[in-house]
């Protein structure tokens, strides 16, 4: 299969990411460790499209990193809608703010620095959409914590749930990230309070709908 060619074909036949996001992307690849963590062109356009379709008024993102996905979702929501994005690493603040401040959608975004486990209960909000994309070891904990704050009919997204394909092999006992993702996937499979589907997009994206 000519996957690289198909990737290029897809990216050349969908909406462009725009000059701000492509500058952010380049900056991250030159100056940051692990730039692959950011959502990127295709997933970013999908997140924006999901926002167009769902029209969420309140979004929670767990794991901001550069703010790439945050800015994509902000493009897709109405002017009175808001995104709360939580990042534990305050060394990312300058990078995030550099691009957020240049975005026409900056008023829609509020970034919190700290541990999502501490911040979520303090937000006092009900969410229409949640994007779980932080520490892979803690996906099940984020899910349990956030679930009561998601409205019925709300959407929960979880990124990287195929984890480079490692989910199909028995994990090494020391590989806590793979174990975290596998446990999360098993938990979601059994949870009858939601409908769920896995998109084999990039590193795998689960979409859940709260009944």
Ligand X SMILES: C[S@@+](CC[C@H](N)C(=O)[O-])C[C@H]1O[C@@H](n2cnc3c(N)ncnc32)[C@H](O)[C@@H]1O
Q: How far is the CB of 211 from ligand X (least distance, A)?
A: 26
Tell me: does residue 87 bind ligand X (CB under 6 A). yes
Q: How far is the CB of 124 from ligand X (least distance, A)?
A: 18
Pick the closer one to ligand X by CB: 144 or 195: 144
Which residues sit opposite 194 in a β-bridge?
Answer: 210
Pick the stretch among 14-22, 56-64, 175-183, 198-206 that binds ligand X (CB under 6 A): 56-64
Pairing mode, strands 205-210 and 150-159:
antiparallel
> In whole angstroms, how far apart are CA 187 and each of 54, 139, 143, 144, 164?
25, 10, 10, 10, 20
**CA-to-CA distance for 32 and 26, rounded, in angstroms?**
10
- Please pick, from the candidates 24, 88, 129, 194, the single residue that binds ligand X as defined by CB under 6 A: 88
Q: Contact at 8 Å (CB) between 120 and 60?
A: yes
Q: Which of residues 132-161 bind ligand X (CB under 6 A)?
A: 133-135
Quickly tell me which residue has 């499209």 as its tokens: 49
Pick the closer one to ligand X by CB: 29 or 152: 29
- Please pick, from the candidates 24, 116, 157, 205, the single residue that binds ligand X as defined by CB under 6 A: 116
User: What string marks each residue from 57 to 86 as x (binds ligand X by CB under 6 A) or -?
Assistant: ----xxx-xx-xx----------------x
- Please pick, from the candidates 20, 37, 199, 207, the single residue that binds ligand X as defined by CB under 6 A: 37
Footprint of ligand X on this chain (CB under 6 A)? 37-39, 61-63, 65-66, 68-69, 86-89, 115-117, 133-135
């Amino acid at each position: 299969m000519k996957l690289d060619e198909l990737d290029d074909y897809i990216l050349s036949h969908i909406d462009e990411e725009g000059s701000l996001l492509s500058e952010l992307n380049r900056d991250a690849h030159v100056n940051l460790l692990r730039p692959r963590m950011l959502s990127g062109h295709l997933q970013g356009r999908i997140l924006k499209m999901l926002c167009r379709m769902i029209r969420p008024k309140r979004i929670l993102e767990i794991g901001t990193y550069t703010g790439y996905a945050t800015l994509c979702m902000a493009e897709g929501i109405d002017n009175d809608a808001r995104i709360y994005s939580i990042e534990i690493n305050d060394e990312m603040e300058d990078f995030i703010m550099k691009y957020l401040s240049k975005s026409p959608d900056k008023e829609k975004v509020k970034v919190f620095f700290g541990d999502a486990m501490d911040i979520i209960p303090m937000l006092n909000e009900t969410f229409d959409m949640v994007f779980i994309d932080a520490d892979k070891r803690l996906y099940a904990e984020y899910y349990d914590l956030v679930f009561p704050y998601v409205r019925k009919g709300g959407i929960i997204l979880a990124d990287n749930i195929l984890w480079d394909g490692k989910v199909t092999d028995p994990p090494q006992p020391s590989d806590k990230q793979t174990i975290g993702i596998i446990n999360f996937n098993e938990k979601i499979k059994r949870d009858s309070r939601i409908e769920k589907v896995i998109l084999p997009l990039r590193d795998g994206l689960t979409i859940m709908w709260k009944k």
